[in-house]
A and B are shown apart, each in its own frame.
Chain A
Amino acid sequence: MRKNKSTSDRLRGTLDALILTALSGGPLHGYGVSRWLAGRSGKALRVEEGTLYPALYRLERLGWIEAEWGTSELGRRARFYRLTPAGTRQLAVEVQTFAEFVAAVSPILLPPPAALGERA
């Protein structure tokens, strides 16, 4: 578990977690992942194609997801991605890291109302 990540690392790690989560329910192709994320975040999250596909290929290189050709809804063939056992483990790690990050930062950036105006 990498504790002290740089900013871009943290963003990348979060994206990884999002993609891995998207695939945890079953195989999807790239467009499907983007739709799923948009849907689950109430259209708030839209991952750029220019970011998504390199991320997918990177995750495949790292061995956390694997790809197979299947048939898409258009009838054409598409590359479907799926979690590997290592990917499942990595997903748990990424979620944990993110939770810790949030837990550390939230009290500072989003303090409970009663604490506003107080000095530490």
Chain B
Amino acid sequence: MTAQEGRLRRLLRSRILGPSIARQVEEELDLHLELLVRELAAGGLDERAARREAAARLGDRRALAAACGRQARGTERRLRWSVLADELRQDVAYALRQLARARSFTAMALLTLAAGLGATTALWSVVEGVVLRRFPFAHPDRTVLVAETWKGGDSNFSAGNYVDLAASSAGTPSTAGTPSTAGTPSSAGTPSTAGTPSTASTAGTASTASTRSFSQLAAMQFSALNLAWGPDPARVLAARVTGGFFAVFGVRPLLGRTLGAADGEAGEESVAVLSHALWAERMGGDRAIVGKTIRLSNRPYRVVGVMPERFDPTDSHEELWVPLVFTPAQRAQHDEHYLDVVGLLRPGTSARAAQAELSVGMRRLSALYPHDNVGRQGVHVASLSAFILGDVPRRLFILLGAVGLVVLIACANVASLLLARGAVRQNELAVRAAIGAGGGRLVRQLLTESAVLGLAAGTLGTGLAFVLVKLFVRLAPPGIPRLGETRIDGGVLLFAFLLSLAASLLCGLVPALRSARQSPQTLLRGGMSGEGPSRDRLRHVLVAGEVALALTLLVGAGLLIRSALHLERLPLGFDPAGVLTARVGLPESAYPQPRAVEQAFEQIVARLEKRPGVRGASAGSGVPLGGYGGNNGLLPEGKPFSPENLIDASFHLVMPGYLETLRIPLLSGRTFDAADRAGGDRVMVVSRALARRAWGDADPIGKRIACCEDAAASRLKTVIGVVGDVRTRGPASEVRPEFYLPMAQAPQEGWKWLQRTVNLVVRGDSPAALAAALRGAVHEIDPTLPVPVVTLADALRRSLAEQRFHTALLLGLGLLGFLLATVGIYGVIAYFASQRTREIGIRMALGASRARIVRQLAIEGFLPLAAGLLLGAAAALAATRWLEGSLYGVSATDPLTFAAVAAMLGGTGWLAILLPALRATRIDPTRAIQAG
């Protein structure tokens, strides 16, 4: 007898066949008493004395019995668990044997499930890494982005507003300063403490700021600077930040220190903190970099620190940080809004409370400076992590939902296969039931089988997920934050494990219950083709479900494809073919006066035009798809100054020839020419959208509109031309009003707003020649300037990349679901046909035509298909609502897409039904009757 049989026997004996524990203990103690009495009597005591003595020795019988009873119950528990473990081991061994025996079934089921589970695990890993993972700030839930509100949307802060708001509502001062250990360079590898905020923030400087709601507040301004280090000059994105910036995020530097309140003050030398990427790539990861000096746009900066890898708090990919300190003139400037503001809320303060506090201050500022702050009544405080993630969570969850549907289809397929197998295994199960395996045990066995299958598929799937995640990260377009840090960790593995169990339960529960429910007698008596009608119906229901799910997936994919096509065909308003651009910025030190900047760019463009291969050349402050540009509020002449009358329009400072080079169509009037110079009539070209907003259908040529200047005399500009609308931000964006001013008539502050940077544009046939022309022309004027060249065609492709990626993935999932569903339909029909071989043979022998039999089989299969299509249409109508944010030019309930997908599914479904039906009737009747 093996150990486990012994355990089983003991358990059965003790519980089922034996006396209760209490009685058992009683019996044992009674016996001991009797034996003791006999011993004592043999030693000389009389019967009664012996009994008394024995009872005394035994002591408190009840307590004794209770103590023993407790232990005995423990024994029973232990036995029960080990019996269960034995049975589980048996079941697993049995399951493995069975699966090995039915090779084609196992292979199909494994592949189907592994594909679905692997895709889900991979996608979950991405969701976990991008959306759910904690942001690397000290207090991510309290880190916020603060913006002024302007016409219902967010807008940047002006320096004046920021300084006043931060200083005036100061509550308790920022953390009383232990003087920072700033300045002591750390030995390699040990991070020093971050620069601590100043002990006293004098009102007005607000070098580090805090208020009642915020323990830290900081402003940032992005600018591109020319970095001179090593042989090639490079353009790097820098962030100018106020003193409390690093304290908002609480991340310790890798080397050296971060910026603090004292940095950037007048008289101090300029310092900079580098990002890890810049340090590793450009400076070779030099550990002795702290203390060395770099030149940014011809100014020296001493490196004081390096941030750790992946420190990119606003996902703006800035490469270094330099101090931002406002001059008195800047502090008084309330009208130029260019600052991004981040803050750290005090513990226990909600974003809404902070928003309320600052909005009060904002309204006060609006009253104080009505012209500069018109329409800016409030402040918007929002979580920084939510801002960084943007729309990405919604898209990822859509994908996750889609892959979930695929898994459901896969599970339906496997369940269908299990049901079929259940019918085949009836005899074996009947025998097992007859020799005593209770219904529960049988169900447990069958569930163990599907669990083994599910876990094996899950393991395969996890292996697949590794590959899929790598592929996803490689192929995904930029724009998904934190994607590079996605990996499969313990949490994801746990998810995969639980998912496999859930899937195996989903697939196996109903087939197991069905198989185990039938009593042994009916099973044994069932005969050869004992196929219960209920099993038929269940498989048909599964088919209907699969079709419905597949239809939902395909409708979603179809809608996205139509959106993508719509975007491709959308008129951009300009012609990107053959156009290259380069963004060139002049350093302030070498070109301090606006006139110098203008002349330099004019010279560059003049040289460009003369270069071989150049059909047209010009320059502009922004370039379509470039992502640069600001807005201004315009007021048509004659309209009173109020938020409703101010038109928010995109601002472009351009040279003559810009509109022609980009082939932006002129609709009426004229574009700029050499006559539009400083001192002449101030002119403007408007887009059609702007013209319509300002003057409706009236002819805008000759009308005047005010913008961009403080001095009333220069504020009004005359409209000389109307051009077509341009989708500056790409095909997926809306059309906005735009206006163009000639560079020669740039507003006083214009070059400062633009940070002395323009985009050169050239059109020609050969990209190589154009790139050389750009570099050559710029370097003739100033060889130290970096010239990053971009083709507009590439920029266009990149702007559509996210949409395309999303569509491609959803299409892939839809096709996978479609394939699985089709295979499922085919499998079910083929199986039923093969089961009825005998019956078909008889009927054909008796004279029934093939056509009739095929028709009957087909109708049987058609009903679930039709039901699935209807069900799927209803489900899709509900589900596509979630896609609305990604659809362009097509509604979520587009009937054409629904019809096309239904036709495709229905048609393939028909084939999947007809083919096996036809094959079934091709057999020889005599053989069919003998078989079966």
Contacts and interface: CB of A to CB of B under 8 A. Distances in A.
B31 A50 contact: no
A53 B59 contact: no
B71 A31 contact: no
B702 interface: no
Contacts of A31: 31-32, 35-36
Interface string A79-108: 100000000000000000000000000000
B34 A63 contact: no
A53 B29 CA distance: 9
Interface residues of A, number: 24
Given A31-B36, A63-B78, A74 B71 contact: no
B78 A53 contact: no
B35 A54 contact: no
Interface of A: 29-31, 48-50, 53-54, 56-58, 60-61, 63, 66, 68-69, 72-74, 76-79
A74 B31 CA distance: 9
Interface string B389-412: 000000000000000000000000
Nearest to A84: B3
B35 A58 contact: no
A53 B64 contact: yes
B68 A54 contact: yes
Contact of A50 (B18, B58, B72, B78): B58
B902 to A, nearest CB: 64
Nearest to B70: A57
Contact of B59 (A30, A49, A69, A79): A49
A8 B28 CA distance: 26
Nearest to B71: A57
Given A50-B60, A76-B34, 18 more contacts: A29-B28, A30-B32, A31-B31, A49-B29, A49-B64, A53-B29, A53-B67, A54-B68, A57-B67, A57-B68, A57-B71, A57-B75, A60-B75, A66-B10, A72-B31, A78-B28, A78-B31, A79-B24
A76 B33 CA distance: 13
A58 B68 CA distance: 8
B86 to A, nearest CB: 14
A79 B28 contact: yes
B74 interface: yes
Report whether over half of chain A's contact residues are helix, strand or loop; otherwise say mixed. Answer: mixed
A8 B169 CA distance: 68
A28 to B, nearest CB: 12
B432 interface: no
Nearest to B10: A66
Give the contact-size bracket for chain B. Answer: 20 to 34
A61 B36 contact: no
B855 interface: no
A76 B72 contact: no
B57 interface: yes
A72 B500 CA distance: 55
26 contacts: A30-B28, A30-B32, A31-B32, A31-B36, A48-B59, A49-B29, A49-B57, A49-B58, A50-B59, A50-B60, A50-B64, A53-B28, A53-B64, A53-B67, A54-B68, A54-B71, A57-B68, A57-B75, A60-B72, A61-B72, A63-B78, A69-B18, A74-B31, A74-B35, A76-B31, A78-B31
Contacts of A68: 10
Interface of B: 10, 18, 24-25, 27-29, 31-32, 34-36, 57-60, 63-64, 67-68, 71-72, 74-75, 78
A21 to B, nearest CB: 20
The residue among B32, B58, B59, B72 with the most chain A CB atoms within 10 A of its own CB is B32
A11 B343 CA distance: 65
Contacts of B28: 29-30, 53, 78-79
B31 A60 contact: no
Contacts of A66: 10
The residue among B18, B58, B71, B72 with the most chain A CB atoms within 10 A of its own CB is B71
A63 B78 CA distance: 8
A29 B30 CA distance: 12
A53 B71 CA distance: 10
Which 4 residue pairs are nearest across A and B when measured between Cβ atoms? Answer: A57-B71, A61-B74, A54-B67, A61-B75
A56 B75 CA distance: 11
Contacts of B31: 29, 31, 72, 74, 76, 78
A57 B72 contact: yes
B347 to A, nearest CB: 45
Nearest to A30: B32
Nearest to A63: B78
Nearest to B82: A63
A2 to B, nearest CB: 20
Given A31-B32, A74-B34, A58 B71 contact: yes
Nearest to A76: B31
Contacts of A54: 64, 67-68, 71
B205 to A, nearest CB: 64
A76 B71 CA distance: 24
A60 B71 contact: yes
A90 to B, nearest CB: 15
A77 B71 CA distance: 21
B569 to A, nearest CB: 77
Contacts of B58: 49-50
A57 B70 CA distance: 9
A85 to B, nearest CB: 8
Nearest to B21: A57
Nearest to A68: B10
Contacts of A50: 58-60, 63-64
A92 B31 CA distance: 31
Contacts of A48: 57, 59
Contacts of B59: 48-50
Contacts of A77: 27
Contact of B68 (A53, A69, A73, A76): A53
Contacts of A29: 28, 31
B75 to A, nearest CB: 4
A54 B28 CA distance: 12
A84 B28 CA distance: 21
A34 to B, nearest CB: 8
Contacts of B18: 69
A82 B47 CA distance: 32
A42 B770 CA distance: 111
A76 to B, nearest CB: 6
Contacts of A76: 31, 34
The residue among A53, A72, A73, A76 with the most chain B CB atoms within 10 A of its own CB is A53
The residue among A29, A30, A49, A56 with the most chain B CB atoms within 10 A of its own CB is A49
A29 B34 CA distance: 13
A49 B32 contact: yes
A30 B27 CA distance: 12
A50 B61 CA distance: 9
A58 B69 CA distance: 10
Contacts of B67: 53-54, 57
A79 B34 CA distance: 14
A89 B121 CA distance: 45
Contacts of B60: 50
B596 to A, nearest CB: 85
A72 to B, nearest CB: 6
A57 B71 CA distance: 6
A72 B527 CA distance: 55
A31 B27 CA distance: 13
Contacts of B32: 30-31, 49, 53
A91 to B, nearest CB: 18
Contacts of A58: 71
A50 B78 CA distance: 24
The residue among B27, B34, B57, B68 with the most chain A CB atoms within 10 A of its own CB is B68
Nearest to B74: A61
A94 B75 CA distance: 21
A53 B59 CA distance: 12
B30 to A, nearest CB: 8
A47 to B, nearest CB: 11
Nearest to B54: A49
A66 B6 CA distance: 10
Nearest to A72: B31
